[in-house]
Structure 1
């Protein structure tokens, strides 16, 4: 009769053998896809490069080494082929969102547009929220953006304009976020959140957001964890209405505003919340959509503002050309103060600057955005992907936007002129590639219109009014690539310019 220790050794051996067999089977699943050898057996490659916050650069290196389709885990691949990504994301595609999107769930038992994986439910929700994001059927949200910009400009003029020896630096990494939070409040509820008034990180929002985004990035390949986090008893650790800091504060604030608007006899307003109500969204649906929007609609805009200013200040020729275009338009009474969205759209160099900045630094710089290969499998760029394979359609945007095969040898350089030089098929290729930054087809971001409107208004208002320079030209900003591109310590000096003609 075998001893107890022998039985234990036998069980341990069987477990190890079972684990080894399982890993070999998983390796065989995608053995024909090129990639780092270890990725066939473990997800640790992905996790490690998330921990080191270099995933965007590492995915770019993988694509340059192995080609547009690369294996990055036992059941994961990245795809940097434009035609394939459009095929995956097309309205008629059978690809579905993976469980990775549980990361975007605000409440354990409720869904918002981003985390919805059922295509029919998502289609219905998107149909009902679209008018709010595009301004259809109600007065444009441009007025709310103007209010937030005017508030920010007034604050800068009062406290941060340097003259001569006066040195009054402004931390653009924080202030761009303060503006974005307040603009989101004006657009969504016709009411500022008060970040610019306080000039403080209210309720530790930025600290908690940074931690959560890093947490979501690192654990994104283990989405099953989020099923358990949202179940009892761990769900008690999640944000709740009435919390004194973090996301729970925003949930409580949002809920209060929604309840006030839903009261019988309340005065309708012209904002996103009212549009959602008019489209039939119920209280719970309103809470989920607007709570998520607070973060998704602010991190991207703040990042784009920061990086556009950084790139312009590092390229004096581009900075001067943009200023000249704005000044010339103002002198000819072609733009007002504030500039209108339609007017900004008629400034070609401004539009080129915005596109070029988004190309080099897409706001969602390391997000996987996994999609599941449909039943029967699919052929992608000459490779067969079995049913259930997870395809990362987001983490490769940084690589695609810097690909020399698309953007030529100067792909790493900030050169807005490329958008003015290209035409016909060439311009269409550049535009289609950049558009993937905001998703495509059934997975396209509905907030793209708002993002471009804000950039088209904020950037010219800053450039027309101030000479902007980085306080530290050697280390102008500390970038933090999480799910979104965050930043610390982007100190700038602003000096007042002679005012251009304004109507």
Structure 2
């Protein structure tokens, strides 16, 4: 069969499931037609795996090895980002980046490239990773023009995924009051505290009964119960039953499903047609997750004001603005938007807090002197201390910050589209519509910013006067600029209360026979 015949047969199959203009040029020969999208293997933000700038809808039925080599050479020298450091293969294909994304090693691979090539490195034909402070600030400062990349279009639209700056600013203003430290303490601290206390009791009880306890399990149940209560107006009660509910199983499936859908969209589309119940449950996990958000709507309608859930505070904010003399430019959320946002909050606020707390426990227990000093500090707290009091403990705050620096749960890339006219970053010009990304994992391991960066050293956060401007500006565990994590105050409240209560109530040691974070009394 000729190259053209092969290409046509594959292309016919793709057309049948209504995907658009995908070629298989890397194996069969270049499709002579715009860029080959390669979405049968998926693409992050629909960026081409193989970047080919060719004429439209004609074929090269004969492409010998010599011609192919010439084409490869042409692509290398014709690329508008060929001058940016990076492996040669990243001029031709996105496959390595996709592989490391799917295997959960993306940030480690990019970090290794930074160590080899420097603060700016090409990671695919249309994506560049940047890690120097000046470029980070240029990308993430408010009004920079760098907007969230097309990758976010693969996520149901909400405050996290909204790309248009004005629309996002309006939505964020609606959320801001509900997620402020003041509002959280006034309306939800008792709820958070009760669930933290219950988690610590469960950790202690299981350690006494079984000799050891997996803290990650209980932190996950705790964090999910908290964000579930705040988002939906009712708890999942997983702390009470001591295990994950069906919703948590769906949540975990949804996270994997989202990754497959964004990276392997054609495979995902094909799988959706398989009439196998377990597969259908997996591919429809996201829909189930967001449909569950109807409970947030129901509870919001059945209760008034802040008592319902976080969306009650948002509604109160809107009503307050409307009744003011100036009126309001805010747009109220539809019931469907409340459903989506509630689901988004669950996705963002469960595993992240649990992972950070687990690393914190592990880091403290590995250092007996630090454990002793932290226990002494929290011992001075009153029995019914509040979050504001805990926030004033310098060592507790330093331990939390150092955990967030070294083991933060959101260390990966923040992809942004280069604005119109292009931009110069790290001394290199990058054309418009290319994608640049920064990752906290690399920024937080920069020895020029954080001396001895791989060492867990809480003392770097103990004296604010000794911290350099770069240390302050580049400590970004929750992101930066106008897109900084809306839930960071809630996360910090959970981290403070959980750490303080655990250190007050128990003396734990790391289990010597476990590679997970299991602790013993």
Instruction: Look up the SS of the partner of 2:62 in the other structure.
Output: helix
1:31-50 deviation line (CA, Å, top 9, x unaligned): 01001121111112212323
The question of whether the paired residues in 1 share the 8 Å contact of 2:510 and 2:519 is answered with yes
- Distance in 2, matches of 1:137 and 1:315, equals 36
1:377-413 deviation line (CA, Å, top 9, x unaligned): 00001110011111122xx3111111211111x2111
- Distance in 2, matches of 1:354 and 1:120, equals 33
How far residue 439 of structure 1 moved from its aligned partner, in angstroms, is: 1.3
1:236/1:268 Cα in 2 relative to 1: closer, same or farther (>3 Å)?
farther
- 2:518 corresponds to: 491
The question of whether the paired residues in 2 share the 8 Å contact of 1:148 and 1:186 is answered with no
- 1:69 corresponds to: 120
Aligned partner (choices 171, 188, 191) of residue 141 of structure 1: 188
- Distance in 1, matches of 2:407 and 2:420, equals 35
Instruction: Look up the SS of the partner of 2:390 in the other structure.
Output: helix
The question of whether the paired residues in 2 share the 8 Å contact of 1:95 and 1:374 is answered with yes
Structure 2: any 5+ residue segments left out of the alignment? Answer: 7-58, 319-331
How far residue 202 of structure 1 moved from its aligned partner, in angstroms, is: 1.0
1:47 aligns with 2:93: no
- 1:35 corresponds to: 86
Aligned partner (choices 461, 470, 473) of residue 432 of structure 1: 473
1:448 aligns with 2:488: yes
- 1:182 corresponds to: 225
1:417 aligns with 2:464: no
Aligned partner (choices 350, 356, 363) of residue 304 of structure 1: 356
How far residue 338 of structure 1 moved from its aligned partner, in angstroms, is: 4.0
1:347/1:198 Cα in 2 relative to 1: closer, same or farther (>3 Å)?
same
1:196-254 deviation line (CA, Å, top 9, x unaligned): 11212211624x544544555577567xx49x979998799999xx9999555543443
- 2:61 corresponds to: 12
Aligned partner (choices 456, 463, 475) of residue 503 of structure 2: 463
Instruction: Look up the SS of the partner of 2:462 in the other structure.
Output: helix
Q: CA RMSD in A?
A: 3.5
The question of whether the paired residues in 1 share the 8 Å contact of 2:304 and 2:312 is answered with no
Aligned partner (choices 344, 364, 373) of residue 292 of structure 1: 344
Question: After the TM superposition, which of the residue ranges 461-470 and 13-22 deviates more from structure 2?
Answer: 13-22
- Distance in 2, matches of 1:285 and 1:21, equals 48
Residues 175-254 of structure 1: pairs in structure 2 closer than 5 A:
175-203=218-246, 205-206=248-249, 208-214=250-256, 216-217=258-259, 225=265, 246-254=285-293
How far residue 276 of structure 1 moved from its aligned partner, in angstroms, is: 2.4
Residues 67-106 of structure 1: pairs in structure 2 closer than 5 A:
67-105=118-156
Aligned partner (choices 266, 277, 295) of residue 256 of structure 1: 295
1:70-89 deviation line (CA, Å, top 9, x unaligned): 00000111011122112111
TM-score normalised per structure 2 = 0.77
1:92-139 deviation line (CA, Å, top 9, x unaligned): 11111111113432xxxxx20111111111111111111111155683
The question of whether the paired residues in 2 share the 8 Å contact of 1:160 and 1:170 is answered with yes
The question of whether the paired residues in 2 share the 8 Å contact of 1:47 and 1:219 is answered with no
Instruction: Look up the SS of the partner of 1:414 in the other structure.
Output: coil
Instruction: Look up the SS of the partner of 1:407 in the other structure.
Output: coil
- 1:485 corresponds to: none
Instruction: Look up the SS of the partner of 1:29 in the other structure.
Output: coil
Could you say which structure has the greater relative contact order, defined with CA pairs below 8 angstroms and 6 or more residues apart? 1
- Distance in 1, matches of 2:126 and 2:360, equals 37
How far residue 29 of structure 1 moved from its aligned partner, in angstroms, is: 1.7
- Distance in 1, matches of 2:297 and 2:248, equals 21
